[in-house]
Structure 1
Amino acid sequence: MFFVDILETEGLGNRSYLAGGREAAVLIDPPRDVERVVAAAAGRGVRIAYVAETHVHNDYVSGGLELARLTGATYLVPAAARVSFDHTPVTDGDTLPVEDGLTLRALATPGHTPHHTSYVLREDGREVAAFTGGSLLIGSVGRPDLVEPRLTEELARAQYASAHRLAAELDDAVQLLPTHGFGSFCSSSQAEGTSSTIGRERRTNPALTKDVDTFIADTLAGLEDVPAYYVHMGPLNSAGPAPVDLTPPRTAGGREIAERLTAGEWVVDLRSRTAFSAGHVAGTVNFEADSKLATYLAWLIPWGKPVTLLAESPAQLAHAQRELVRVGIDRPAAAATGDPADWLSEGGALRPFPRADFAALRTAREAGEDPVVLDVRRRSERAGGYIRDSLHIPVHEVRDRAGEIPAGTVWVHCAGGMRAAIAASLLDAAGRDVVAVDDSFDAALDAALDAGLPLTTDLRR
């Protein structure tokens, strides 16, 4: 009997899959931190016979090369992908034996990339699971605009054709097991649920229910901004990523932290936004270790700039290191853990800023204050409603566009508080007076019942 184990990489919104039988298995789209894959295989008592990439990834660094080296597995990469390391190229229709009664078939599904390949697991001649990478996703498809802008519409058409090929060739009961779609920006929209089958997607997926022109128009209209670090992932994966070094960084004291800040380096406080706002080293920025640390830090930090990490504990620091290597931030310049007071240079003091909710913002307006309201959500989120007279700058643009923010105290909000905390810390580090709105935007609807916090969906105003 076959098995499929899901290896979640929640911070990036992706999945890898270990699939096999009694003795052997294949790993689809491996994460960078491969020791958890090795542990999963050991737990199953199987050897990893194949490591398979559906495509050269644009959103994270693959651990495929290292995993193949460690396990002796055959490394499968689509033949049309341009890579610089030893591998076994796979083309459409190639069938590989995993063990007796269990085979893996390659199925060309271009669209997310020109060379994208899905893999279909077959047990005793019956197809049971389709690993679709960034092709057909749960309720969506992988976005077609990450390779080359001039190819976007062509790849969108290919994506539509690939989805229809999968639906035509596979039975309704075949499990759909995509890599993207669980929060990854590689998805053209987010997954509707956590599991699916080819039959369910045939009935509900826009790529299979809309005509091609409507699908393409809707897909292209719904594409969000691409995280800035994506441009570096493809070249890293094509060249062959180096093994991961997760040993602790060297420890920095308060004086060194101050020197790094003076030099213009990034010092990142990994604590919760609540702890950070209560008191932090002036000039540091807040990216919570337990939120989408890798995505947002890699998106906002200038690529290659040294980063020092400040954590509550060695465990929090180790977690952050693991998250960051997945997006190519391999070695922090330094780190410190423990009491924030120990991160100060001599004579320094921790700097706080206030947190509030939308009701407090309404109260401030009713009291005659004229706060600057900064909305750092995505454009698609703002289209669903926003606070009238608010300024809109998505969080990943705040640092470069800070000069557009009017003078005065800036009340920063997003949809739930995490991105607002990032933006507030960036502005605080630049010397602005800020209030971080740590509240669900749904609460703004309640506050809007009073004229003190009017909302609008008219984007012309």
Structure 2
Amino acid sequence: MRLTQHIDLVGSGAAGFDLTDPLDCHVYLVRGTRGAALIDAGAGASAGVLARRLTTAAGPTGERHLLLTHGHADHSGGAAELARLVPGLSVRAGSPADRWIARGEEEKISLDRGKASGAYPEEYTFTACPQVRPIADAERIDLGGGVVLTALATPGHADGHTCYLLEASEGRVLFSGDCVFTGGRISLQNLHDTRVPEYAASLARLADLDVDVLLPGHHEISLARGGRHLVAARDVLDRGLLPGSTT
């Protein structure tokens, strides 16, 4: 599904547009002149489809990147299979989520709680992805042709959560993972690494970005005036409250 000149929505599950496996988050493909990147990997069952889309977009010699927003299985469960299917794939995630994904630490990525809540079937397994490397706050991935992604450390929903800011001809695009959604909503869960003060600081940081397009990890997307959703979250914080949660 083409969203902008440089972005396609190539994966989306039951909490979105039902393009791929029901467990998948939104998976975005970003194209530049010297390579391409996937934002998130889905839960795993759709890895073959995603690998073909990335390989085609990058071309035979182009760079191939997988940029993970955080370690939860609906976002990172497909990383290992993508690394197997896509030669030369660079897999990145914020610390400490990079280590948990690399080792397949199901409790650290809260898969045990996800199964207990019914979000994942008991038979679902997470495959470790030892290829993943950390990505630092403010690190830039230049895909060529003026298409540049910048990592933004945004902990709160989960440790190591990272948003990615795209600057390209269509404007400033925020891939917000599970940090913030349309309407200024958030995802606040009873997990070991959900941290309210850090979450509030991350939301305040994002509201200052002057974003044109907001592309979150689930639910609706915003292709115009995307910054209004980030400001809505900040306005609630300014009143000493927390924005409404999607969960």
Considering the TM-score relative to the shorter chain, is it more than 0.5?
yes
Q: For structure 1, which segment, 57-66 or 83-92, has the greater mean C-alpha deviation from structure 2 after superposition?
A: 57-66
**Match status 1:30 vs 2:41:** yes
Cα displacement (A) at 1:179: 0.8
Cα distance between partner residues in 1 of 2:135 and 2:65: 12
What's 1:283 paired with? Answer: none
- Letter in structure 2 aligned against 1:166: L
- Structure with more helix by fraction: 1
- Letter in structure 2 aligned against 1:7: V
CA contact (8 A) 2:36 2:63 kept: yes
Q: 2:164 is matched with which residue: 119, 123, 126?
A: 119
CA contact (8 A) 2:28 2:39 kept: yes
What do the CA deviations read for 1:209-259 (whole angstroms, capped 9, x no partner)?
21356433x64xx675xxxxxxxxxxxxxxxxxxxxxxxxxxxxxxxxxxx
Cα displacement (A) at 1:156: 2.7
Q: 1:40 is matched with which residue: 24, 34, 53?
A: 53
Cα distance between partner residues in 1 of 2:165 and 2:188: 22
Unaligned runs of 5+ in 2: 17-24, 104-129
Q: 2:93 is matched with which residue: 77, 80, 84?
A: 77
C-alpha change, 1:104 and 1:172, in structure 2 (3 Å) is closer
- Letter in structure 2 aligned against 1:74: S
Cα displacement (A) at 1:120: 1.2
Cα displacement (A) at 1:17: 0.2
What's 1:380 paired with? Answer: none
Cα distance between partner residues in 2 of 1:98 and 1:122: 11
What do the CA deviations read for 1:160-185 (whole angstroms, capped 9, x no partner)?
221221121x2242x111112x2xxx
SS in 1 for 2:26: strand
Cα displacement (A) at 1:202: 4.2
- Letter in structure 1 aligned against 2:89: A
C-alpha change, 1:50 and 1:44, in structure 2 (3 Å) is closer
Larger Rg: 1
CA contact (8 A) 2:79 2:91 kept: yes
Q: 1:21 is matched with which residue: 9, 21, 32?
A: 32
Count of aligned residue pairs for this structure pair? 202
CA contact (8 A) 2:29 2:37 kept: yes
Relative to the length of structure 1, the TM-score reads 0.39
CA contact (8 A) 1:2 1:21 kept: no
Q: Percent identity?
A: 27
Unaligned runs of 5+ in 1: 183-190, 225-461
Cα displacement (A) at 1:15: 0.7
Task: List aligned pairs for 1:34-433, cutoff 5 A.
Answer: 34-41=47-54, 44=57, 46=59, 47=62, 49-59=64-74, 62-71=77-86, 72-81=88-97, 82-83=99-100, 84=103, 85-123=130-168, 128-148=172-192, 152=194, 155-168=195-208, 170-173=209-212, 175-180=213-218, 182=219, 191=220, 195=223, 197-202=225-230, 205=232, 207-212=233-238, 214-216=240-242, 219=244, 224=247
Cα displacement (A) at 1:19: 0.6
What do the CA deviations read for 1:378-421 (whole angstroms, capped 9, x no partner)?
xxxxxxxxxxxxxxxxxxxxxxxxxxxxxxxxxxxxxxxxxxxx
SS in 2 for 1:49: strand
Between the two structures, name the one with larger relative contact order (CA 8 Å, sep ≥ 6): 2
